[in-house]
Amino acid sequence: MRVALVGLGVVGRSFLELVAKNRGELVSRYGLGLRVVFAADRSGGIYRASGLSPDEILDAKREGGISRVANTRFYANVLDALQDFEADVLVDATPTNIVDGEPSYSIIRRAILREMDVVTVSKGALALYMPALKEMASRRNVLLKFSGTVGGGMPVLAFARECSRADRVEAIEGILNGTTNYILTKMEEEGLDFRQALAEAQRLGYAEADPSLDVKGLDTACKITILANEVLGMKANVHDVKVTGIENVSAEEVNRARYSGKAVRLVAFAGDGKIEVRPRELDVRDPLAVKMAMNAVRFKTTFSGSHVITGKGAGGTETATAIIRDITSIKIKRTEAGENA
Ligand code: HSE
């Protein structure tokens, strides 16, 4: 399967590392031979039809820029590149932008128009235009996968699909941002101040390229929007979410909650026609009161009660596993449909 990778930040690089490590297993378990034919970052993209090795891309990236990789065609503009060469899957690991969804929005659209299946871990384009993108993909028989946009490595969308199979999910509630959860836990348990805790979350690769998206609750708002569309069938975008971030949560508030058996957490909610994100005090025994960069999501169903999934919601390697999961599922679907993949 020929892969075009756009975005070489923490997640894009982790994806390449994972491809290098798991190559043998992907072939033996799924018959999935991945060939990365294109890799791009802000500086442009490089293409080689016979495939680029993950190591040569990562080495060049470390040593001054991907244009140093020999025997490749260089494109200054990713959209021109996607128009020019053939690939089976586009992997979009560009940073989330919720102002206009770019560059993800144009890149995904271009890939769909070229009939490439799409795996995205970027949240902006989906949070703004999910119904339109899904419809566009379905009209062109393109698979649009985005399991890494919510929950990092934790398969929350697949879990939700299972919960909905013979039942109906009525409401969703969850901790969907690793960075803010890490900050709140560090304030709670180690008395770190907000800035110190955020710096640690950035160093560990949890935070967005623009960490204000995390802190202001906007990353969480994108994720609950994606869940609300996918699981509750709402036609919502991120502007429909009432959002309050954690920037005004004080050390005193966190401590006060702690001494009364509570934990302050940034909680997202979708249901009863509304979507919101705000800091709330949870009972420490509530399964949603997870610690550090963990995520937790509760699906309230009509017949079978509530189901909770918890797992690592942020981190390069964790999110890269979601990309591989989506590519694997594309391979399975295309093979079942009798198409070459
Ligand atoms: N910045 C995000 C978080 C990354 O902290 O959860 C995963 O989407």
DSSP string, 4-67: EEE--SHHHHHHHHHHHHHHHHHHHHH----EEEEEEETTEEEE-TT---HHHHHHHHHTT-GG
| Encoded amino acid at 83, one letter | Q
- Based on the fold, state whether residues 161 and 143 are members of the same structural domain: no
Q: What are the φ/ψ torsions at residue 20 (nearest 5 degrees)? A: -60, -40
Q: Which pTM value belongs to this model?
A: 0.94
> Ligand 1 centre and the CA of 28: distance in Å?
32
Domain count, the chain: 2
Determine if ligand 1 sits within 6 Å of the CB of residue 179.
Answer: yes
pLDDT digits (tens, 9 = 90+) for 327-337: 999 999 999 98
Check whether residue 29 and residue 120 sit in a common domain. yes
**What's the pLDDT score for residue 3?**
98
| Claim to verify: residue 161 and residue 294 sit in the same structural domain | yes
Q: Is 193 left (phi over 0), alpha (psi -120 to 50) or beta?
A: beta
pLDDT tens readout for residues 254-292: 999 999 999 999 999 999 999 999 999 999 999 999 999
Q: Please check whether residues 72 and 116 belong to one and the same domain.
A: yes
Distance in angstroms between the alpha carbons of the first and the last residue of the chain = 6
Note the pLDDT of residue 278: 98
- Ligand 1 within 6 A of 211 CB? no
Residue 220 CA: which ligand 1 atom is closest?
6
CA 40, CA 337: separation in Å to the nearest integer? 30
pLDDT given for residue 79 in this prediction: 98
Q: Distance, CA 314 to ligand 1 centroid (Å)?
A: 5
Instruction: Mark whether 123 is an active-site residue.
Output: no
| Protein residue closest via CA to atom 7 of ligand 1 | 314
- Which residue is catalytic, options 223, 235, 242, 312? 223
Statement to judge: residues 109 and 207 lie in one domain: no
What's the DSSP call for residue 68? G
Residues 259 and 326 in one domain: no
Tell whether 194 and 134 lie within a shared domain: no
* Cβ atoms 268, 277 nearer than 8 A: yes
Range of the domain at 11: 2-153+317-340
| CA 71 / ligand 1 centre spacing (Å) | 36
Q: Is the CB of 127 under 6 A from ligand 1?
A: no
Report the atom number in ligand 1 closest to the C-alpha of 180.
5
Q: Residues of the chain whose pLDDT is less than 50?
A: none
| The token pair that represents 211 in the structure block | 């960490």
User: Are 331 and 305 members of one domain?
Assistant: no
Residues 14 and 139 reside in one and the same domain: yes
Same domain assignment for residues 29 and 78: yes
Q: Is 213 exposed, middle or buried (0-12, 13-18, 19+ CB in 10 A)?
A: buried
Contact 324, 25 (CB under 8 A): no
Q: In this structure, what CATH number is given to the domain that contains residue 278?
A: 3.30.360.10
Atom of ligand 1 nearest to the CA of 319: 7
Q: Are residues 219 and 275 in the same domain?
A: yes
Euclidean distance between CA atoms 82 and 199, whole angstroms: 36
Indicate if 15 and 117 belong to the same structural domain. yes
